[in-house]
Amino acid sequence: MKLFTEEGEQVTTSQQPFSSGGEGGVYHVHTSPFGRGYCAKIYHNSNQKQQAKLKGIEAKLRYMLEHQPSELMGNMWALSWPVSLLYTAKQEFRGFVMPLAFDGSVKLTELISSIDTPSPLKKSFWDHWSQDDWDRFSLRSKEGLLNRLKLIVNICMPINKVHQVGSYVFVDMKPSNILVNGKGQITLCDMDSLQISDKGKLIFPSPVNTPDYTPPDTIRKIKIQMYDGQQQDVPVFDESWDRYSLGVIIYQMLFMMHPFACTAMDDSLTTTTEKVAKGLYVHGTLKGQIKKAHPYHDNLKRCPKIVQDLFFKTFDPSKGLKHPIQRTSANDWGLNLYAEIQKLSLNSQPIDGGSKPIPPKPNPKPKPNPRPNPRPNPNPTPISQPLSLWGYFWRCVTNKFADFKGRARRKEYWGFVLYNNLFSGLALWLAYNGIVPNVAIFILPILFFLPRLSVTARRLHDIGIPAWGLLVLLVPILNLYYVYMLMFAESAGDNKYGPSPK
């Protein structure tokens, strides 16, 4: 569809959204004055109520354009902040342009759902991440924990940038609004749902919050005029609300549990919200009222004392739980974790391209409707070593069991063929000596049939040949083509079948 900026410059988007929600959809931007790396959020306007609501949204986004954080993007983080409003040819407001999330991003929820590798059937994850990406942040390794700490610092950076402005509260900060890719680059989404105050006066309320990330604060309400002209009582939040939400997210990233997830002595306390209200922080002063807690919580005792103290400040009822101003800020999390990372690994890759979190300082007033900067080239976080032959074989028969997309490097194909033949030979020997039934000779070829086809197809892709080349292998004399596939080196860089394989 064709839309226009306030200056009359044309922005062309895809016809269908790649992501949809209750308010509207997010569309790819094909052409725009901003260059590559941007998308557009287009709001619904099919009925009178939605059209009336758009007046308030337009005013809110215009404020955000005129009061931006000092930076919208770093090497390792980005804010999906509006950079231009969008209109029809008739000057009807429809949405805004914002930075696109980094390539290969998934919701942070994927990293806190389980300590185990996601199911091979979870296409929403494996379409964007590789096994190497998952291993890079696995809590089963010391390096994975270190990379998660770096990821947390990368998350704290843009949150601190937004808080520095002094007008914004996220209110609904949660893992599903944070996108992360395999390099540790993060994107904060849903920026148009922020609460906005100007000189201490609420002007745009936030419509939602999520119970698991909601502190037990007494919420003050005031009456303001809404987009439809009606007076309405709305809640007012301050930055300390976000501090609690951020603390929960960080705790989940490190320990895979909510900090108040436990079984209370009081059997009437069944929900997380009830346990938060009673102050049952697992490591807090009321832990004597807890009957049972998951062993994952014990890992906090192995963390540096400063990390334990930051959580205690945020969640204990004697501290931040009942006294919100004492909760740990995004800036304090970033500063302290950055220092701990330097102690843990002096040779680690720099976070956010080497930019260290800094204390808040006054920002110059931003110019209205600035033109966004081009997306910088990202600096990667630590790169994992290539998989072993066994590692590649295991990936072929698990995560990539029937994956015919993408490419397979020469080592991956060798790894599969090697162990396939070893297991087949072992089955033949066991059957020949009567140790297992003869049927075992036929079971393995059946089990490995799909993985063999898929890895062969990906190997063909890697040398620039379409998967129908598999048909050639059905001709006996042309089986020598296998030698060609095994010995031919990978094609450098990307090709039409995808990026260079890992």
Q: Where are the alpha helices (DSSP H) in 448-502?
A: 449-462, 481-487
Q: Crossing angle for the helix pair 449-462 and 440-447, nearest 10 degrees? A: 40
Whether 493 has a pLDDT exceeding 80, the answer reads no
- Predicted TM-score of the model (pTM): 0.70
Shared-domain flag, residues 336 and 428: no
Boundary-marking domain end, from 311, 335, 354: 354
pLDDT score for 243: 98
**Domain span at 474:** 389-487
pLDDT digits (tens, 9 = 90+) for 326-363: 999 999 999 999 999 998 864 444 334 334 443 333 33
Shared-domain flag, residues 57 and 24: yes
Whether 368 has a pLDDT exceeding 70, the answer reads no
Shared-domain flag, residues 213 and 301: yes
Buried b (16+ CB within 10 A) or exposed e, 367-381: eebeebeebeebbeb
Shared-domain flag, residues 303 and 159: yes
pLDDT digits (tens, 9 = 90+) for 24-56: 999 999 998 888 889 999 999 878 778 888 989
pLDDT score for 369: 42
Boundary-marking domain end, from 79, 100, 121: 100
Virtual torsion, Cα 420, 424, 430, 435, nearest 10 deg: 80
Q: Is residue 400 one of the residues assigned to a domain? A: yes
Per-residue CA distances from 1 to 7, 12, 22, 26, 242 (Å): 18, 6, 20, 12, 37
How crowded is residue 409: how many other Cβ atoms within 10 Å of its Cβ? 19
Which is higher by pLDDT, 299 or 374? 299
Tally of domains within the chain: 3
Shared-domain flag, residues 12 and 148: no
How crowded is residue 323: how many other Cβ atoms within 10 Å of its Cβ? 13
Long-range contact set of residues 389-398: C-beta below 8 Å, sequence gap at least 24: 389/414, 389/415, 389/418, 389/419, 390/415, 390/419, 391/131, 391/415, 392/416, 393/418, 393/419, 393/420, 395/131, 396/451, 396/454, 396/455, 397/447, 397/448, 397/451, 398/120
pLDDT score for 440: 75
Shared-domain flag, residues 233 and 187: yes
Shared-domain flag, residues 330 and 433: no
Shared-domain flag, residues 138 and 233: yes
pLDDT score for 45: 86
Per-residue CA distances from 217 to 151, 240, 319 (Å): 28, 10, 13
Report which secondary-structure segment, H or E, holds 244. helix 239-255
Shared-domain flag, residues 121 and 163: yes
Whether 279 has a pLDDT exceeding 70, the answer reads yes
Shared-domain flag, residues 96 and 111: no
pLDDT score for 229: 66
Burial class (CB in 10 A: 0-12, 13-18, 19+), 227: middle
Shared-domain flag, residues 314 and 181: yes
Which is higher by pLDDT, 189 or 360? 189
Section 456-462 average pLDDT: 81
Distance of CA 392 to the CA centre of its chain: 25
Boundary-marking domain end, from 77, 100, 123: 100
Q: Is residue 366 one of the residues assigned to a domain? A: no
**Given the structure tokens 């490995």, which residue do they identify?**
448
